[in-house]
A and B are shown apart, each in its own frame.
Chain A
Amino acid sequence: DAGVTQSPTHLIKTRGQQVTLRCSPKSGHDTVSWYQQALGQGPQFIFQYYEEEERQRGNFPDRFSGHQFPNYSSELNVNALLLGDSALYLCASSLFTGQPTGETQYFGPGTRLLVL
């Protein structure tokens, strides 16, 4: 059973460019969350997708956008890259059960983005 996969593993971009990161959730999961982990920091919640809609959003500017496809995979897009966007971007998947069960989020290995 494949876990959460992310691509690419590493990426180098220059300021002002745009980037797209991809995530495939664990088999059977329908919810995808994205987190940004700056060097030496804990992950910070960007947004979450369920049923192809953004359901929750953290304190990130509109330059950060996303999409969820019918097969539950997801993309994170960042426009007009800044040096401060350099970080490890983590995708996490889970299964919505309809109840507040504290369901476990399973994390992928991340995409390390370096903005020069």
Chain B
Amino acid sequence: AQSVTQLDSQVPVFEEAPVELRCNYSSSVSVYLFWYVQYPNQGLQLLLKYLSGSTLVKGINGFEAEFNKSQTSFHLRKPSVHISDTAEYFCAVSSVVIIQGAQKLVFGQGTRLTINP
């Protein structure tokens, strides 16, 4: 079984400041890692994902995340945020096993990012 812990429920940041949203996971098997964003009254949109290879992953809207296997972390970062980045951010994992169909996602509780002018 897998679990995901997002260490901050809310993160307030000033516009153009850098931000880091923290995510730790627990799993007895290898996992894929994802960050999704949810804007108000909308579904989830994929920001980026780590499958294998380079531990630094670049995503959409200037976001990037770094996979750290020893610390079982997958923190999301952006060097300079904009008002439009205000949203809920979810870290998720899925196990690397072969089954028919897609892999189920296990989500964290979410981090609400608020950008102040």
Tell me the A residues contacting B by CB distance below 8 Å: 4, 31, 33, 35, 40-45, 48-51, 55-56, 58, 90, 92, 94, 96, 99-110
Contact = CB atoms under 8 A, between A and B. Distances in A.
Contacts, number: 81
By secondary structure, the B interface counts as loop
B102 A105 contact: yes
Instruction: Identify the interface centre among A44, A103, A109: most chain B CB within 10 Å of its CB.
Output: A103
Name which of A35, A40, A42 has the most chain B CB atoms within 10 A of its CB. A42
B117 interface: no
A48 B94 CA distance: 14
A56 B99 contact: yes
The 4 closest A-B pairs by CB, nearest first: A50-B101, A42-B107, A102-B32, A107-B43
B101 A107 contact: no
Interface stretch (B13-21, B44-52, B65-73, B77-85): B44-52
A105 B99 contact: no
B55 interface: no
Contacts of B42: 109-110
A102 B104 contact: no
Contact of B43 (A4, A50, A58, A99): A4
Nearest to B98: A100
B102 A42 contact: no
B100 interface: yes
B44 A100 contact: no
Given A33-B104, A90-B43, A102-B51, A55 B96 contact: no
A28 to B, nearest CB: 14
A56 B105 CA distance: 11
Given A41-B110, A42-B107, A100-B97, A108 B102 contact: no
16 contacts: A4-B43, A31-B102, A35-B107, A42-B110, A48-B102, A49-B101, A50-B101, A55-B100, A90-B44, A101-B51, A102-B49, A102-B96, A105-B105, A106-B46, A109-B42, A110-B43
